[in-house]
Amino acid sequence: MPLILFAAPSLWPEYRDALPRAVAEAGIKAQIVTEAPPEQVDYIVYAPSSPLQDFTPYTRTKAVLNLWAGVERITGNPTLTQPLTRMVDPGLTEGMVEWVVGHTLRHHLGMDRHIVNPGHIWDPTCPPLARERPVTILGMGALGSACADALRALNFPVTGWSRSEKPGQLHGEDGLRQALSAAQILITLLPKTPETDSLLNAARLALLPQGAVILNPGRGALIDDDALLAALDRNIGHATLDVFRIEPLPQDHPFWTHPRVTVTPHIAADTRAITAARVIAENIRRGETGEPFLHLVDRARGY
């Protein structure tokens, strides 16, 4: 019977019922605890905010199963030698798709000028059709691909860009320039790595068409804040931002008061205990049967 250590104390109330139920449904007889001698632990269910930072004593542990999609706060831990998986949660994916589609349609249809119209201006200008509004998604992993599928179903022409070469996607610096130059709506869903930090700098923001809209539900560090503020006075029509370098966003940050910035408080997507518990249970089942783990992190790439 494997011993599972749930090493994310603040999240335990959400998973207290969901995780044992998911493990049982996966056909696994296991003991799930919040404290245990390290040498007895087979699996660690983890969040980077956990007080557990030294993995050296966990010599029996077969895998560390991260509850968050982002793993940038743990991949550099030199004591972590066990396999690490990241969370790809169907519930999180659904939430991200809904946020991205909702805000894409908001900007595509120009909803703000009708919802907030203090001058009672009658402007019968119709927006273009979706097929006439090019969208670019930076980052074509599970989340980016799901968002692309949903937007294409609405007839938006979607261009995807990835850091590494993938069939049917742009990649590399030349591909990035091409992807940005065509994007009337730009969606950023890349992981945070040293290579993606400030990927959207002044030079790259200047490649976007006049009036382009940026949606960032990915990572706050993907965009250079100062460069974005300058670009909003030049060629960027609006930025809707869900993630930030410092969270909560400081009250004196200029994003709060800029007329063409929308701040949402990191709500685009969240790990859902019921669906995430099933992902964790499936990986434990795989570990017990010798099958490859799902969503195994590539330490060299950082995700």
Q: How high is the pLDDT of residue 300?
A: 82
Q: How high is the pLDDT of residue 221?
A: 97
Residue with tokens 């991260």: 66
Q: What is the pTM of this model?
A: 0.90
The DSSP line for 182-202 is T-SEEEE-PPP-TTTTT-B-H
- What residue segments make up the domains of the chain, in order of their start? 3-89+271-289, 90-263
Residue among 219, 272, 278, 295 flagged as catalytic: 219
Q: Record the tokens describing residue 81, joined without a space.
A: 């030698």
The whole-angstrom separation of Cα 50 and Cα 201 is 33
Q: How high is the pLDDT of residue 95?
A: 96
Q: Record the tokens describing residue 96, joined without a space.
A: 């991200």
Give me the percent of the chain exceeding a pLDDT of 70. 100
DSSP one-letter code for 159: E
pLDDT of 134 above 90: yes
3 state DSSP class of 297:
coil
User: Could you give the count of Cα atoms lying within 13 Å of 54 in the half-sphere of its Cβ?
Assistant: 3
Nearest to 32 by CA among 61, 5, 60, 7: 5
Residue 219 a catalytic site member? yes
Q: How high is the pLDDT of residue 299?
A: 86
The whole-angstrom separation of Cα 206 and Cα 183 is 12
Average pLDDT for residues 153-177, to the nearest whole number? 95
Q: 3-89+271-289 and 90-263 share one CATH topology? A: yes
Q: Record the tokens describing residue 122, joined without a space.
A: 């009658």
pLDDT in tens, 95-115: 999 999 999 999 999 999 999
User: Could you give the count of Cα atoms lying within 13 Å of 84 in the half-sphere of its Cβ?
Assistant: 28
pLDDT in tens, 270-296: 899 999 999 999 999 999 999 999 999
Mean pLDDT computed over every residue of the chain: 96
Q: How high is the pLDDT of residue 238?
A: 98
Residue with tokens 């995430």: 276
pLDDT of 174 above 90: yes
> How many Cβ atoms sit within 10 Å of the Cβ of residue 214?
25
pLDDT of 63 above 90: yes
Average pLDDT for residues 30-55, to the nearest whole number? 97
pLDDT in tens, 72-93: 999 999 999 999 999 999 999 9
User: Domain 3-89+271-289 carries which CATH code?
Assistant: 3.40.50.720
pLDDT in tens, 234-266: 999 999 999 999 999 999 999 999 999 999 999
The whole-angstrom separation of Cα 15 and Cα 293 is 21
CATH topology of domain 90-263: Rossmann fold (3.40.50)
pLDDT of 10 above 90: yes
pLDDT of 301 above 90: no
**Do β-strands 43-46 and 63-66 pair in parallel, antiparallel, or remain unpaired?**
parallel
Average pLDDT for residues 32-41, to the nearest whole number? 98
Residue among 177, 253, 258, 266 flagged as catalytic: 266
Q: How high is the pLDDT of residue 303?
A: 86
pLDDT in tens, 190-235: 999 999 999 999 999 999 999 999 999 999 999 999 999 999 999 9
Cis ω before 13 (30° cut-off from 0): no
